[in-house]
């Protein structure tokens, strides 16, 4: 026999002996084992020195209950014991221990109670004696060695004695001494680490690894129960439906927290289910209710969970313990809130708005950089390679995938949920986004949902755009972290990469960013730093760079308004708005970028790289797996600017946003078999009690009252009843507005006919205007929507079927047919509607390679402002898809100001909200030109502003654009025949560019009147036989 065989045989023999010894010890009569105070002969390990607090990230590192070395208790903090009361239960049967002791335990900030009988103390005592003897025996297994080593040499292990008197013989007058004896016994046990850390002791006092985590809130009741499988409300999740033969029972450790329950698998410590407290939360006991002897049924909107207890009294304790604890600490979650929202109104919440993605992306990047534990992201579309800070001056440091990889390497857990598109219909390639992110680091987990076939959800989408950092800062709005979204208030049409300085400035050496960015490594871009003193252009034109040596410039320009060279020579560098920061010490040089009055660029940089330079009405995205390759020619086609709104909230409101994400994540994990593995953990909501302990705060936020509202349903969030609190909030704010409503939205599909369209927003607007007319009061409604829907299609030939279908419903809401807003108004007030409501779009122009170009600005915002004191910002469009709750999933916040500033409304003094008014003024500044402090913008209701500024600017701009570019859509085109004639007529921009440039100087801002009569004689719904006509009508509404 070889040595190897011998050693194998010896090992297997040892294992057998070890197993036998374990069994013998488990069954020993403990009365024979009462030896005291001997030392364990082994190497000893010191207690880990740690902070008193257990970090929240511990929830991702749970261990099996019997594994040695798991941290359960707070370091260096005693467990205090008080036996509060004794209940004596009498029954017809002879019960050996009729007394039940209520024991209150305190550990740090946590206080909880357990109920135990004397026999439970006896069982614990016997078990600890067994354990003490077991530890003395050097069984050669790894886990046993670790267990022995974890007990310090010289550590006291003298077992305290338990009273011997039988329980039934103790008289009532002796109860207090009995209580004191048990109190002392338990106190002594819990002072000795060897016994305190034993799993039997932890079970006795009802603690686990999740008990003392500060951010999970106060400690509720915990213990072992048997739970029954099934009970999910979502079809397809229960084996064979609700059949009684089909379920199975499993032993689990149940943990009750202030806003949720969870249960854990004892062998692995893995969290196996999380049940959120909500308005349907309810507990029933009894055979009749639960179909189980000693059963306990816990219901919420997502599941009906059935548990089995040891006795009816045991079930009563559980019900009472859970019920009292939740009512005390989680009452906010038990009721429906305003507008039918799942979330309460949170006062004194820090909030901030964003107009356009430049500042939003920067704040999101900074918040992610500050993350300590978790980052949650959910988007309709996510592009991993977008740059969050532009112009790019630090290489790839602020590229989204690089930020996430960096944070994951630091130990932050990152959870991303993407909408899984129907690939035939959309080209957003979420599969590529998922693959790219998952390859970065194991701490990044990505889910896609829905599975269209298994869930039979073909028509609806997850449309929220959320970024949540450590569950305490939540960004909510309309901006996906995706291509085409980054823009600033200038809404530039061109980005040809600007001027490359060759002869003129010899000291400058820069690296071409596009090629650097092709490398997916997160390496800072190296280039020589520019000295702050060096002037690229002197005041005299003689020092100007030689135009023939400039790359990427195209033809010399003919007219002064557009010539970036003359502009720059004239003003010199001192007059630039902003120069990107220069860090000459670090030699991480920066690429100079200059923002001039024309909105052109100077320096070796681009704002939009590769796929980010886009015009999706001209051409939809293709080849997203090649992020840095252009897909449209930026030298001939202008980009489509993107106008959008977002917000950030902190504290309790951020916790509410996180709760929605957690609900969706946990639901998707249960729903899709591939996510059931432990590598996709269940997420736990942090407690509202610690919500205001902000470790990071977005700068410039103001205090306001905030409520989180959403559209959610069974398919999207796994809830029994759908929620349409965004729809309810919109209608309520419109009905209760006093002075004005300002709306920016990507769609405007409303005015219910209860056949095709159901949401009531358009009707609420019409009714509110009619009320103002009856009361003879001034009231204004401003609506800003995109001039064309965002679908690929050549509008010069009438656009595609999808584009026309959306146009049909937009026009049906605004001005066509008796259900439309203008239709309802004209029947009551005739032409006076013009004093109340204005519909506009946004458009801009530029010079591209010596040629004048124009393009609409795509309004993607989902914004409502009322009366300078109430704002709704979110992801929900004004259409049935977003508003009805049963369709697309959405998220928004309603912000009501508490801090006010003096202002004017309808010519009278008015206290305007800080948040709402500053947002309205910024929106007005962007669309009308001027500044945030333009005095003419202060009063949004007076005739002077409404007629002489708003209406007049929109009409003048529209007329000039029409004259210079013959833009579409246009009121001059009522049918497709006129369309062909219209586009064949000559344009001033081509025939006389100098005169055209003179005309364009008169344009202010971007605002243009919406053309009501465009294609009004055509039937715009998809014609029979087209693939669009086979799609249900709800897809468009």
CA distance 512 to 507: 16
The three-state secondary structure class of 113 is strand
Q: 815 near 823, Cβ under 8 Å? A: yes
Q: Cα separation of 929 and 1024, whole Å? A: 45
Cβ(647)–Cβ(915) below 8 Å: no
Is 94 a catalytic site residue? no
Which residue among the candidates 278, 867, 880, 888 is catalytic per the annotation?
A: 867
Report residue 86 as tokens. Answer: 């004794």
Over 990-1036, what HEC string results? HHCHHHHHHHHCCCCCCEEECCCCCCCCCCCCCCCCCHHHHCCHHHC
Known catalytic membership, residue 332: no
Q: Is the separation of the CB atoms in 262 and 210 below 8 Å?
A: yes
**463 in active site:** yes
Is residue 470 part of the annotated active site? The answer reads: yes
CA 426, chain centre distance (Å): 22
Mention every residue, 6+ apart, whose C-beta is less than 8 A from residue 499: 545, 550, 551, 552, 553, 564, 602, 603
Tokens of 978: 């006129």
Q: How far apart are CA 563 and CA 569, in angstroms?
A: 10
Question: Pairing between strand 79-88 and 851-856?
Answer: unpaired
3-state DSSP helix/strand/coil percent for the chain, to nearest 5?
A: 35, 20, 45
From 389, 860, 886, 937, the catalytic residue: 860
Place of tokens 């009252």: 705
Q: Closest Cα partner for 187 from 150, 167, 162, 208?
A: 162
Task: Classify 732 as helix, strand or coil.
Answer: helix
DSSP string, 859-911: E--EEEEETTTEEEEES--BSHHHHSSSSSBEEEEEEEE-SEEEEEETTEEEE
Please give the structure tokens belonging to residue 609: 């790289």
Closest-CA residue to 1022 (of 823, 826, 802, 828): 802
The catalytic position among 107, 420, 463, 595 is 463
Cis before 450 (ω within 30): yes
Q: Read off the DSSP letter of residue 205.
A: H
Strands 702-712 and 723-724: antiparallel
Query: Cα–Cα distances in Å, from 692 out to 58, 228, 487, 832, 907?
Result: 21, 38, 32, 50, 40
Cis amide linkage into residue 391, ω under 30° from 0: yes
What's the rounded Cα separation, in Å, for the pair 554 and 219? 70
CA neighbours within 13 Å on the CB side: how many for 751?
A: 22
Residue 251 annotated as catalytic: no
Which one from 465, 557, 611, 886 is the annotated catalytic residue?
465
Determine the Cα–Cα distance for residues 760 and 732; give it in Å rounded to an integer: 10
The C-alpha angle with vertex 860 and arms to 854 and 866, in degrees rounded to 5, equals 115
Q: Considering 115, 227, 389, 862, which one is annotated as catalytic?
A: 862
Helix (H) or strand (E) holding 816: none
Known active-site residue 862: yes
The SS3 call for residue 242 is coil
Question: Exactly one of 278, 363, 470, 714 is catalytic; which is it?
Answer: 470
Per the DSSP assignment, residues forming a β-bridge with 647 are 353, 476
Catalytic machinery residues? 463, 465, 470, 860, 862, 867
């Amino acid at each position: 026999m070889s040595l190897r065989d011998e050693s194998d045989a010896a090992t297997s023999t040892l294992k057998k002996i070890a197993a036998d010894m374990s069994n013998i010890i488990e069954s020993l009569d403990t009365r024979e084992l009462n030896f005291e105070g001997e030392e364990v002969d082994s190497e000893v390990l010191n207690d880990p020195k740690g902070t008193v607090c257990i970090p929240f990230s511990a929830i991702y590192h749970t261990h099996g209950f019997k594994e040695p070395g798991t941290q359960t208790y707070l370091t260096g903090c005693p467990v205090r014991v008080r036996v509060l009361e004794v209940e004596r239960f009498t029954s017809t049967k002879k019960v050996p221990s009729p007394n039940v002791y209520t024991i209150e335990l305190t550990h740090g900030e946590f206080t909880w109670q357990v109920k135990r009988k004397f026999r439970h103390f006896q069982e614990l005592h016997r078990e600890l004696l067994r354990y003490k003897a077991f530890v003395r025996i050097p069984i050669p297994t790894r886990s046993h060695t670790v267990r022995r080593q974890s007990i310090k040499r010289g550590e006291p292990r003298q077992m305290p004695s338990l009273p011997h008197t039988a329980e039934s013989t103790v008289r009532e007058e002796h109860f207090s001494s009995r209580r004191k004896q048990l109190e002392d016994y338990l106190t002594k046990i819990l002072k000795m680490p060897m016994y305190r850390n034993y799993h039997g002791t932890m079970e006795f006092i009802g603690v686990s690894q999740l008990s003392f985590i500060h951010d999970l809130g106060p400690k509720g009741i915990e213990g072992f129960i048997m739970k029954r499988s099934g009970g999910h409300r979502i079809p397809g999740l229960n084996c064979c439906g609700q059949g009684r033969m089909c379920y199975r029972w499993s032993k689990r450790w149940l943990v009750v927290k202030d806003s949720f329950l969870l249960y854990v698998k004892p062998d692995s410590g893995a969290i196996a289910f999380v049940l959120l407290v909500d308005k349907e939360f309810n507990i029933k006991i009894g055979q009749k209710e639960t179909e189980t002897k000693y059963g306990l049924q816990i219901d919420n909107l997502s599941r009906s969970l059935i548990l089995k207890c040891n006795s009816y009294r045991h079930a009563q304790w559980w019900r009472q313990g859970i019920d009292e604890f939740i009512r005390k600490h989680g009452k906010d979650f038990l009721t429906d809130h305003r507008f039918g929202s799942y979330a309460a109104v949170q006062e004194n919440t820090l909030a901030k708005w964003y107009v356009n993605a430049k500042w939003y992306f920067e704040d999101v990047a900074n918040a992610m950089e500050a993350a300590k534990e978790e980052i949650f992201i959910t988007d309709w579309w996510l592009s991993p390679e977008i740059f969050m800070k532009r112009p790019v001056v630090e290489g790839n440091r602020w590229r989204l995938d690089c930020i996430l990889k960096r944070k994951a390497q630091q130990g932050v857990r990152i959870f991303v949920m993407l909408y899984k598109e129907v690939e035939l219909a959309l080209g957003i390639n979420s599969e590529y986004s998922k693959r790219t992110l998952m390859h970065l680091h194991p701490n990044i987990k990505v889910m896609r949902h829905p599975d269209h076939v298994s869930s039979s959800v073909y028509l609806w989408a997850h449309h929220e755009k959320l970024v949540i950092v450590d569950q305490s800062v939540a960004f909510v709005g309309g901006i996906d972290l995706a291509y085409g979204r980054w823009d600033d208030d200038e809404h530039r049409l061109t980005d040809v990469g600007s001027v490359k300085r060759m002869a003129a400035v010899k000291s400058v050496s820069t690296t071409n960013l596009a090629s650097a960015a092709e490398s997916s490594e997160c390496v800072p871009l190296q280039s020589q730093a520019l000295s702050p003193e060096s002037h690229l252009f002197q005041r005299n034109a003689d020092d100007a760079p030689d135009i023939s040596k400039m790359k990427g410039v195209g033809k010399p320009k003919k007219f002064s308004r557009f010539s970036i060279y003359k502009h720059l020579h004239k003003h010199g560098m001192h007059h630039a708005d902003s120069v990107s920061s220069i860090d000459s010490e670090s030699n991480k040089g920066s690429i100079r970028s200059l923002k001039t009055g024309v909105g052109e660029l100077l320096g070796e940089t681009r704002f939009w790289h590769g796929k980010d330079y886009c015009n999706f009405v001209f051409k939809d995205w293709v080849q997203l797996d090649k992020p840095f390759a252009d897909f449209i020619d930026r030298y001939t086609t202008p980009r489509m600017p993107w106008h959008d709104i977002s917000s950030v909230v902190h504290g309790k409101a951020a916790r509410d946003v996180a709760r929605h994400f957690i609900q969706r994540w946990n639901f998707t994990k249960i729903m899709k078999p591939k996510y059931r593995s432990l590598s996709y953990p269940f997420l736990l909501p942090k407690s509202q009690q610690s919500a205001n302990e902000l470790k990071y705060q977005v700068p410039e936020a103001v205090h306001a009252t905030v409520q989180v509202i959403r559209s959610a349903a069974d398919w999207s969030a796994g809830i029994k009843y759908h929620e349409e609190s965004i729809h309810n909030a919109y209608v309520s704010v419109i009905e209760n507005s006093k002075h004005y409503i300002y709306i920016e939205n990507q769609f405007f599909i409303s005015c219910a006919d209860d056949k095709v369209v159901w949401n009531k927003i358009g009707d609420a607007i019409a009714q509110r205007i009619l009320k103002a007319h009856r009361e003879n009061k001034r009231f204004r409604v401003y609506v800003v929507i995109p001039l064309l829907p965002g679908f690929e299609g050549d509008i010069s030939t009438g656009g595609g079927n999808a584009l026309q279908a959306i146009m049909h419903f937009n026009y049906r809401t605004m001005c066509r047919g008796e259900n439309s807003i203008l239709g309802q108004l004209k029947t009551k007030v005739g032409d006076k509607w013009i004093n109340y409501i204005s519909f506009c779009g946004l458009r801009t122009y530029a010079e591209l390679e010596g040629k004048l170009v124009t393009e609409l600005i795509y309004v993607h915002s989902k914004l409502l402002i009322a009366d300078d004191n109430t704002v709704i910002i979110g992801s929900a469009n004004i259409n049935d898809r977003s508003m009805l709750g049963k369709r697309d999933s959405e998220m928004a916040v309603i912000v009501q100001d508490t801090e006010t500033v003096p202002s004017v409304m309808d010519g009278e003094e008015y206290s305007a909200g800080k948040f709402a008014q500053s947002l309205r003024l910024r929106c007005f500044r962007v669309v009308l030109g001027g500044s945030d402090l333009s005095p003419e913008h202060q009063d949004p209701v007076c005739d002077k502003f409404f007629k002489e500024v708003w209406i007049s600017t929109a009409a003048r701009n529209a007329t000039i654009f029409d004259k210079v570019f013959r833009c579409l859509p246009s009121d001059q085109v009522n049918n497709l025949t006129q369309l062909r004639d219209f586009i064949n007529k000559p344009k001033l921009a081509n025939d006389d560019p100098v005169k055209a440039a003179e005309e364009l100087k008169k344009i202010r801002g971007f605002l243009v009147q919406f053309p009501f009569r465009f294609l009004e004689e055509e039937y715009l719904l998809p014609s029979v036989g087209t693939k669009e006509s086979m799609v249900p009508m709800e897809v468009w509404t």
